[in-house]
Amino acid sequence: MGRRPRGYGPVVSYRGPDALWLVRHGQSTGNVANDEARRSDAELLDLQRDADVPLSELGEEQADAVGKWFSTLPAEQRPTLGLTSPYRRAHDTARRVLEHLPDVPLRVDERLRDRELGILDLHTAAGIAARFPEEAARRRHLGRFYHRPPGGESWADVALRLRSLLTDPMLELDGQRVLCVSHEAPIHLVRYIVEQLTESDLLAALRDAPIGNCSLTRFERPSPGEPLRVVDVGLVDPLPRNDVPATKEPRVGSDEK
Task: Give the DSSP letter of residue 42.
Answer: -
Query: For residue 33, how many other CB atoms are within 10 A of its CB?
Result: 22
Q: Is 247 annotated as a binding residue?
A: no
Cα–Cα distance for residue pair 59/246, rounded to 1 Å: 9
24 annotated to a ligand binding site: yes
Consult the annotation and say whether 26 binds a ligand.
Answer: yes
CA distances from 113 to 102, 127, 141, 209, 252 (A): 24, 24, 26, 21, 20
The reply to whether 213 sits in an annotated binding site is no
- SS3 for 230? strand
**Nearest-angstrom CA–CA distance, 222 and 122:** 42
34 is in an annotated binding site: no
Instruction: Report helix, strand or coil for 184.
Output: helix
The reply, when asked if residue 27 is annotated as ligand binding, is yes
Say how many C-beta atoms besides its own lie within 10 A of residue 128's C-beta.
21
251 is in an annotated binding site: no
Angle, CA of 197, 231 and 192, to the nearest 5°: 20
Report the alpha-carbon distance of residue 148 to residue 178 in Å, rounded. 30
Which residues carry a binding-site annotation for substrate?
Answer: 24-31, 89
Q: Which residues are annotated as a binding site?
A: 24-31, 89
